[in-house]
Amino acid sequence: MARIAAFLALMLMAGPAAADDISPDRAVRLEHLVLQDCGSCHGLTRKGGLGSPLTREALGGADPHAIAGIILDGLPGTAMPPWRPLLTETEALWIANYLLEEPAK
């Protein structure tokens, strides 16, 4: 139980901390990145293209950390590149949560 409690405490800390670490200015730039540069392959409306659809429905409530992992490390054998050279883990998690929460425009 103690271990689970510790894990939950970590999760609770991780959530708000992730959001707080992204400045409003950076958030605007990340949203632009999602729309324009992720959009190159996944579509401006996130309905997919060469890459898979990234709408809230398509992601179906996936674990944001799993999505952040794919963003950071890519999917070998596909055209999804690793974004770790360009994004921090906090930023990748922000994008994952953005994809899960924000309806496509």
Partner 1 sequence: MTLIAPLSRRVVVGLAATAMLALAAAPVRAETPCCATGDLGLIVERATGSLVVVDQSERAAIGRIEGLGDLSHASLVYSPDERYAFVFGRDGGLTKVDILAQTVVKRVVQAGNSIGGAISDDGRLVAVSNYEPGGVRVFDTDTLDMVADIPTGSKTVGLVDAPGRRFVFSLWDAGETWIADLSGPMPKITKLTGIGTNPYDGLITGDGRTYIAGLFGEDGLVRIDLWAEEPEPRRILPHYGRGREKLPVYKMPHLEGWALAGDQFVLPAVGQHEVLWMDARDFREVARTPTHGQPVFAMARPGGRQVWVNFAHPLNDTIQVIDSQSHEIVHELKPGPAVLHMEFTARGTEVWVSVRDADRVDVYDAATFEKLGEIAAKSPSGIFFTARAHKIGL
Under the rule (CB under 8 A), what is the footprint of partner 1?
Answer: 32, 35-37, 39-41, 43-45, 47-50, 74, 79, 81-83, 85-86
* Of 32 and 66, CB closest to partner 1: 32
Q: 31-70: string of b/e by CB count within 10 Å (b at 16+)?
A: eebbbeebbeebbeebeeeebeebbeeebeeeebeebbeb
* Of 14 and 40, CB closest to partner 1: 40
* Of 6 and 86, CB closest to partner 1: 86
